[in-house]
Structure 1
Amino acid sequence: MAKKASLFSYLRAGLYYLGFYPLTIVYASLCLIASPMLNFRQRFAMVTQINYFYIFWLKVCCGVGVNIQGRENLPKEGAYVVVANHQSEWETLFLQTLVRPQVTVLKKELLKIPFFGWALGLLDPIAIDRSQRRGALKQLLTEGKKRLEDDIPVIIFPQGTRVPVGKMGKFNKGGAMLALSAGVPVVPMIHDAGVYWPGKSFAKFPGTVQVHVGEPIPVEGRTVDEIHADMVAWLEEHMKSLEIA
């Protein structure tokens, strides 16, 4: 159920953004200057350090914390494909602190956002043009497989776009296809961040975001449909358990 924003929630969110935007401009500028001297892993470590501040500052200003269940299910070594539900801007910030390093499949328009998007582009994301559906899938499989072969996990939001709390949306098969083509497991993940930071909302609501990480889904000797079915079954079950779908 959607929460009703109060004046206080808007004031708290305003305080959050008073810290968010100025620091982002300064830090992104430093990253852009330093990036030519760094390899990918070094760039990732540098660019995403600010994400820890974002999450800390969100807790201080808006009372939004986080609790993780199943962190031990993230493989300690080797690449994998993370498939997660998409509800909020929150996961864009938090997941870069949970899976390190990583590359994210995202819409290319995000890279045009001044400073934030420019710094995001330093992380070699797989930037998809969603208007070119067939070309987007080919790009995902080609670029995604290359990242995975370099032992870099890939994060995909199979719903394709943000889905409001209370809606399930449709899960595409890109994650299962990529994992099978690269021979790496799929790690399913869900969260309820949309309850506390609704998509495209200025207001934030106090509470604790619940993140559940599932056991890796193997791909050896299986079909795309089998992998996808297991992935969707886990995501739907756990989204319903959090009462977010």
Structure 2
Amino acid sequence: MTPSPEGPVAPAARPRDLSRAQPAAVAAGAPPPPVGIRKAWIALRSAVYLLLLAVTVAPYSIFSLLCIVTRHPLRYWLITGWPKTALWLARVVCGIRYEVTGWENLPDGPAVLLPKHQSAWETIWLIASMPRPSSFVYKRELHRIPFFGWGIATLGMISIDRARGTDAFEQVVEQGQKRLAEGWYVIIFPEGTRTAPGTHTRYKTGGARLAVRAGVPAVPIALNSGELWPRKAFLKIPGTITVSIGEPVDTRGRSAGEVARMTERWIETEMRRIAPHRYPQESAAGNG
């Protein structure tokens, strides 16, 4: 399979397998740690990038409020111009590119996407690049953030009220099934939080449970964005992020636990393929 393009994806078209990405530095090993002048240059580019994001989010958010009078999915495609802009700026300003394999594995209908979560990059990429409207699950408190929160509120994504405690998952199911019935993708990070490259936390079954209840496929996605866009870090390191989309898991006749185990097994196995330097002991054992 060949890598896909980095540019914005038209809502009616499946992304084609063409790429402008440079050869992936992270595939053979971790990018060299930034030091000295290189670190200063990367810091400057990162600062410019974050400044441009801050400058562009306000007008896009105001635009999203004006788009409230338009109908879905037109409103969705109009508003998602900002994530596409953010990806373009990441490439032009920070030198962060990406390559994707497995576009053909994305279902033509509704599905629950279960991606690896290493940084904020994939939250931008997933919204900017998926060929169908896609919804995250997020905390309703984000609506209080000026501009950014207002923009999210107009996208029709799944918001949960954490004050309702154990009822939160039922909120996800109720809203998630509505989005799936409309043909959307619902995106749920199975680990629940960002993890550092080479690590993982316990995979939760929430996304698998939603897929089983709705009777839609679950799609595992592996990626190594944390190599270039580290969590809780300011620097955005130049290079190429690798994304691999797995074959959809048929949830019919399977329990949520079985679906969760299948997706976890595929993602963690694929992570060892796209980032073998993060698992040196396992690589050495395999070569022994």
Q: Per the shorter chain, which TM-score range?
A: over 0.9
- The one of 50, 63, 74 equivalent to 2:82 is 50
- Give the corresponding residue for 2:180: 148
| Residue 26 of structure 1 pairs with residue 31 of structure 2 | no
Q: Distance in 2 between matches of 1:41 and 1:167?
A: 37
TM-score by length of 2: 0.79
Give the direction of change, closer, same or farther, for the CA distance of 1:133–1:214 in structure 2 (3 Å limit): farther
Q: Distance in 1 between matches of 2:59 and 2:92?
A: 21
Indicate the larger mover: 100-109 or 212-221: 100-109
Q: Percent identity?
A: 36
| Residue 195 of structure 1 pairs with residue 227 of structure 2 | yes
Alpha carbons 2:219, 2:247 under 8 Å: kept: yes
Q: Give the number of equivalent residue pairs.
A: 243
Deviations 1:23-71 (A, max 9, x none): 1111211211221x11221121011012221111111111100100101
TM-score by length of 1: 0.93
State the 1:241 CA deviation.
Answer: 2.1
State the 1:133 CA deviation.
Answer: 4.8
| Residue 102 of structure 1 pairs with residue 134 of structure 2 | yes
Alpha carbons 2:63, 2:79 under 8 Å: kept: no
Q: Distance in 1 between matches of 2:162 and 2:250?
A: 28
**Residue identity opposite 2:158 in structure 1:** I
| Residue 87 of structure 1 pairs with residue 118 of structure 2 | yes
State the 1:75 CA deviation.
Answer: 1.2
Q: Distance in 1 between matches of 2:166 and 2:264?
A: 22
- Give the corresponding residue for 1:161: 193
Q: Distance in 1 between matches of 2:34 and 2:174?
A: 44
- Give the corresponding residue for 2:216: 184
Alpha carbons 1:89, 1:200 under 8 Å: kept: no
State the 1:117 CA deviation.
Answer: 2.0
State the 1:90 CA deviation.
Answer: 0.7
- Give the corresponding residue for 2:265: 233
- Give the corresponding residue for 1:12: 45
State the 1:225 CA deviation.
Answer: 1.7
Across the aligned residues of Structure 1 and Structure 2, the Cα RMSD in angstroms comes to 1.8
Q: Distance in 2 between matches of 1:28 and 1:203?
A: 25
Q: Where does the alignment leave 5 or more consecutive residues of structure 1 unmatched?
A: none
State the 1:18 CA deviation.
Answer: 2.5
